[in-house]
Structure formats: structure tokens, C-alpha cells
Amino acid sequence: MRRISIETGHHYDLLIGSGPLDRCGEEIARVVTPCAAAVVTDDTVDALYGEAVERSLRKAGFSAVRIVFPHGEASKNMGTLSHVLESLAGAGLTRSDLIVALGGGVVGDLAGFAAACYLRGIRFVQIPTSLLAMIDSSVGGKTAVDLAAGKNLAGAFWQPELVLCDTALLSTLPGCYRLDGLGEMIKYGMGFDAQLLSMMREGGWEREPEAMVARCISIKAAVVAADERDQAERQKLNLGHTAAHAIERCSGLGITHGRAVAIGTALIARACVKRGMLSHEALALLEEALDRCGLESRCAFSARELAAAAVNDKKRRGDSITLVLPATAGSCVLHPMPAAELEGFFADGLN
């Protein structure tokens, strides 16, 4: 098993390998003295892995309860958060106890936020089960729920004690959700790592999935170590996301996050080419990588609809919004602009 150290203000390890789920209790007990653990998960993941996790926790000396909610982005809201918080209180969890977030990014974001709020903060562990959660959401401590006004609008920075990444779990992940992980993977390639983007274009994901997962985690670990609180450098991890969050919202959450990130990254790259800020070759490389992975690069919404849906983007400050723009295939820059110009920028990317 490989260990990647996550150097935020609160240091922790990410363990990655094939098969550690069955001994997750043992691994967690190395960093948290056995206590009461609440496994927060969704119904799909619970049916597949809930029992194995509970059994392993008990074997390692934890007591365990499971708190389960319906799968999908539509659950990532204040209603589910309230249900989870009430369940934690009902189970009598105290400040010395633990939440285990078992699932994809929805579970990780929601359970992480519950950990940040419950009793003003208790410890939690991430066991990511989707590709997206393994390469992105389980690392770095951004936790949140969605509000009607937009994605991730209520949340906290709250780091886990451990991330346990069992790549064997990807064998049960349906292909449509695998695409979400690939969308974020292409974001890493376009924004940070030209070689990763080329590997994706050549089908590297199919040949070396574990190596690609570890490569993405290493990129994220380096960025969050440099800027845990999203003040500057970390905002680059939002490449494609101003458009992506708007696309998710305009689609009534029908277009899932990672697929929206793929479209959002392509949209912003096309706008940059049109404005002479990115080469045609870089855009071609991005579009070929998306195509090779089976990801869409276009959507049917208008620039006006997208700009209206993006109004609550967290990179807006008053009348100015900072966009993350690809500069080359493999690097990106932060670019503040008047928020009123966003619609025109999106329009360039849609054509």
C-alpha cells in the first residue's frame, strides 16, 4: 500500500492500494483510539460495503452505527445534513468519537461538513468509493452542502484524520460515474500536468489506473499544502468549475459534477482560444483527451443562463469574478474580470 502525506495545518496520510477496506478498522485504529464510530454513507454504497466496514470497525474495538441517506447530488443539502446531525446526536456521539465517510464525493462533502458542525467539530475519516472521491474530494478538507442558490454554498474547511483509498472498490462503480472521475482527471491534466493530459489522450487511464489515481492525488496534495484555505493557488483546482457548477444547476443536477467539469473546462478553453489566450494545439489536445475518455465537451445552455446560474460562484468578490483560465496544456492562471463580462466570455466558449 502506498502512503501519501497531506501537509495541511492538520497533517494526515492517504493510504492507497487494492484491498484495504476489509481491514479499515485496523488502519483507522492506528490514528484514532477505538471509540464510537458513525459510518455515514448512501444507500447504494451501504448495500455494497456498509457491512464490511462495520464488521472491521467492531473487530478493531470501535462500536459502530450506520447513518444512511439516498444516493445522488439531490441529497447533498441542508435536509440531509440535519438528518445526519440528528442521527449523530441520537446515537450519543461525543467529542471523542468519530465519523467515517464511506462513499463518493456527495457522502464525503456532507459527512465532512457534519463532522465540522457536530458539537462544533469532531474527527472524521474518509473512505472514498468513487473515482472522483479518490482523486479529488477526499483530499484537502473542502466540505459542503448545496443551497437552492448554488453548489457548495454552505460548508467548512475540515480535514480528516485519514483517507483510506481502496481502488478495488472501483470494480463496482458504474461507468457513468467513472466518467465523473475522468472529468476531474482531465482538469488536473489541463491545469497542472501536460504529461497526464497526453496520457489520457492515449488511453493511459485504462492501462495504468492506479498510477493515474496516485498522480492526481499528488497534484492535489501539493496544491492544498501550498494554500489550504483557497486564498490563491488552490483556486486553480477550480479550473472549469465556474461553468461546471452553472451547468449542474441549469440541468437540475441531471449533468453530474465531473461531466460538467469536463464541459466547463472545454468551454473556458474555447473562449481562451478565441481571445488569443490559448493555442489551438492545446485546445485540440484537451478535446482529444475528452473524446478518448467518452466525455462530452459541449452543453445546450445559453451564455445568459450559465452566467445567471454562476452568480454565486465563490471566486466572486463584489463586482469582480476570478476565472481560472488554461494558459497552456498543463498550466492555468487566475484571471479577475468584471462579473458583468462573464456572459460574453461564456458566449465565446459556446461557439
Ligand X SMILES: NC(=O)c1ccc[n+]([C@@H]2O[C@H](COP(=O)([O-])OP(=O)(O)OC[C@H]3O[C@@H](n4cnc5c(N)ncnc54)[C@H](O)[C@@H]3O)[C@@H](O)[C@H]2O)c1
- Using CB distances below 5 to 8 A depending on partner kind, what does residue 241 bind out of ligand X, ligand LNCXM5UN, none? ligand LNCXM5UN
For cell 492506528, the residue is 30
Q: Who's near 222: CB < 8 A, 6+ residues apart?
A: none
d(CA 95, CA 218): 31
> Three cell numbers at 94?
461525543
Please tell me whether residue 73 binds ligand X under the rule CB under 6 A: yes
User: 280-319 mask for ligand LNCXM5UN (x: CB under 6 A)?
Assistant: ----------------------------------x-----
- Determine the interface stretch with ligand LNCXM5UN among 62-70, 76-84, 229-237, 281-289 (rule: CB under 6 A): 229-237
Q: What single letter denotes the amino acid at residue 68?
A: V
- Using CB distances below 5 to 8 A depending on partner kind, what does residue 258 bind out of ligand LNCXM5UN, ligand X, none? ligand X
Q: Of 322-351, which residues contact ligand LNCXM5UN (CB under 6 A)?
A: none
Q: Report in angstroms the alpha-carbon separations of 190 from 4, 59, 212, 337.
A: 23, 44, 14, 21
Question: Which of residues 146, 166, 184, 193 is near ligand LNCXM5UN by CB under 6 A?
Answer: 184
d(CA 164, CA 51): 17
What minimum distance in Å lies between the beta carbon of 56 and ligand X?
16
What minimum distance in Å lies between the beta carbon of 233 and ligand X?
15
Question: Which of residues 76, 123, 178, 234 is near ligand LNCXM5UN by CB under 6 A?
Answer: 234
d(CA 274, CA 276): 6
Please tell me whether residue 259 binds ligand X under the rule CB under 6 A: no
Q: In what order do the strands lie in the sheet with 331-338?
A: 316-317, 320-328, 331-338
Choose between 29 and 295: whose C-beta lies nearer to ligand LNCXM5UN.
295
User: 121-160 mask for ligand X (x: CB under 6 A)?
Assistant: --------xx-xx--xx--x-x--------xx--------
Question: Which of residues 41, 75, 126, 238 is near ligand LNCXM5UN by CB under 6 A?
Answer: 238
Question: Which of residues 215, 257, 270, 314 is near ligand X by CB under 6 A?
Answer: 257
- Determine the interface stretch with ligand X among 20-28, 42-50, 292-300, 320-328 (rule: CB under 6 A): 42-50
- Using CB distances below 5 to 8 A depending on partner kind, what does residue 240 bind out of ligand X, ligand LNCXM5UN, none? none
Binding site for ligand X (CB under 6 A): 42, 44-45, 48, 71-73, 76, 103-107, 109, 129-130, 132-133, 136-137, 140, 142, 151-152, 169, 172-173, 177, 180, 257-258
